[in-house]
Amino acid sequence: MTANDVIDKSLQALQDVKVQTAPAENGGKVIGYLRKGMVSPPVWSYLVRGDKVYWVFDYSIPGGPQNSYVVLHKPGRFKLIQPWAVTKYQLDTGSTNASPDTGGFFDDIKKVALYGGLGLAALLIITRNK
């Protein structure tokens, strides 16, 4: 397998893996972890620093800017997954599980519209039958 085989695939962590802002050799800081079983967003590039390979992916941390992050490759750390097979990407930042697929506001609007519509329909049926 080559590095190009990993591009456009997601990584499922087989062990806890540090996620950094850049390679450690470039002063990268740890910003969170891919915990065992968690899945990264699709890998879009890689970096080679000496004899180390880092996988690069985009990730938006809640409250922060969208950025690129890296994880250090080591044999046995990851399982490759097709991104279309994943519905939610995760990153443990210590206090929150960040995910680009959080639903949030739009899911709440859909629920309010659904229940509001059902309530209105019930009201119309009740008043029509009087």
User: What are the structural domain ranges in the chain?
Assistant: 3-99, 102-130
Model pLDDT for residues 114-128, shown as the tens digit of each residue: 555 555 555 556 666
* Cβ partners under 8 Å of residue 56, min gap 6: 43, 44, 45, 46, 47, 68, 69, 70
pLDDT tens, residue by residue, 39-92? 888 898 999 999 999 999 876 656 666 678 899 999 999 999 876 655 555 555
pLDDT band at 106 (very low <50, low <70, confident <90, very high): very low
By the 8 A CB rule, do 35 and 92 touch?
yes
Owner of token pair 């891919």: 34
Strands (E), the chain: 10-13, 17-20, 30-34, 43-49, 52-60, 66-72, 78-81, 91-92, 97-98
Instruction: Tell me what pLDDT residue 17 has.
Output: 93
- Per-residue pLDDT tens over the stretch 2-18: 888 889 889 999 999 99
